Amino acid sequence: MKPIVVHPRIDFMLYAMDAVVNQAAKWSHMTGGQAHPSMTIRGIINRGGEQGAQHSQALQAWFAHIPGLRVVMPATVADARDLLIASVLCKDPVVYIDDRWLYDQTDDLPPVIEFDLRLERPRCLRLGSDLTIVGSSYSTRLALNAAEELEKLGISAEVIDLRVLNPFHSEEVVTSVTKTGRLLAVDGGWGPCGIASEVLAVTVQHINPANFKSSPSRVTLPFAPAPTARNLEKTYYPDTNSVVRASLNLMSS
């Protein structure tokens, strides 16, 4: 069977960590590839709306840390559909994470094509030459919005959408930052040991320091649980302006 488990809030999926991390992620490895739990676990990120700290988390980094799992985070309407299908058809356990803040995005899609998830990688959604902004899920949306604002200021931003966080593919990011010399990583989770950390790490690992025109930087949540009050939520969550400001800092440093 090919089950799809739906966790309406990724926060409460933590109750299922043993099944996901100790069982699903390990079976193929421990049985020498004889058992493939072909299951998809959909976890929904449900931020804002004065729901408070226990209903608002973006925990993608936890699952991206575990070998044996695949983690996908669609940012576009096309990926929302086609990466879910690819996840379910994949032989491995997949954590598919969608963010409710993206639900209003619209697009015209061609008929379904079945993709092999193992071949899906990060994608460049916008070409640019001055800096590279890397995001996933809603952060990619912020990166695209910021790139438009930056263009009005004469700054050309390239936007890379990670799409698949586990296994983590670094090639597209490294190629882009080698070209632009500047990196801003944007993530909807916390900074320490998060996805943005990994994006920064692979670039400093693989790119000659002389190629960097400024130190790589990141936009993440403040390192604190989410607030409940609406006015505090507004300052807590990064928005397009946060990404524009961080980009301008990179350009002037």
Partner 1 sequence: MIEKRTTYNYGTAILAAFEYLLEKYPEVFVIGQGLWSPWYVGNSMTDLDKKFGKQRVIDTPVAESACTGAALWQA
Point out which residues bind partner 1 (CB under 8 A): 1-8, 12-16, 18-20, 23-24, 37-39, 41-42, 44, 46, 74, 77-78, 80-82, 84-85, 88-89, 93, 98, 100, 102-112
Query: In terms of CB distance, is 43 or 227 closer to partner 1?
Result: 43
Among the listed residues 83, 54, 47, 73, the one whose alpha carbon sits nearest the alpha carbon of residue 195: 73
Query: In terms of CB distance, is 84 or 251 closer to partner 1?
Result: 84
Q: Give the nearest distance from C-beta 6 to partner 1 in angstroms.
A: 3
Query: In terms of CB distance, is 19 or 124 closer to partner 1?
Result: 19
Q: Give the nearest distance from C-beta 90 to partner 1 in angstroms.
A: 11
Q: Give the nearest distance from C-beta 21 to partner 1 in angstroms.
A: 11
DSSP 61-91: HHHHTSTT-EEE---SHHHHHHHHHHHHHSS
Cα–Cα distance, 65 to 104 (Å, whole number): 30
CA distances from 129 to 46, 133, 175, 230 (A): 34, 11, 12, 37
Residue 174: CB atoms within 10 Å: 18
Parallel, antiparallel or unpaired: strands 123-126 and 157-161: antiparallel
Cα–Cα distance, 4 to 12 (Å, whole number): 16
User: Residues 143, 159: contact at Cβ < 8 Å?
Assistant: yes
Q: Give the nearest distance from C-beta 66 to partner 1 in angstroms.
A: 15
Give residue for tokens 């086609």: 82
Query: In terms of CB distance, is 1 or 210 closer to partner 1?
Result: 1
Cα–Cα distance, 99 to 72 (Å, whole number): 12
Q: DSSP 3-state assignment of 94? A: strand
Q: Give the nearest distance from C-beta 22 to partner 1 in angstroms.
A: 11
Cα–Cα distance, 86 to 117 (Å, whole number): 5
Q: Give the nearest distance from C-beta 154 to partner 1 in angstroms.
A: 32
What's the DSSP call for residue 10? Answer: G
Q: Give the nearest distance from C-beta 76 to partner 1 in angstroms.
A: 8
CA atoms within 13 A on the CB side of 31: 12
Query: In terms of CB distance, is 18 or 67 closer to partner 1?
Result: 18
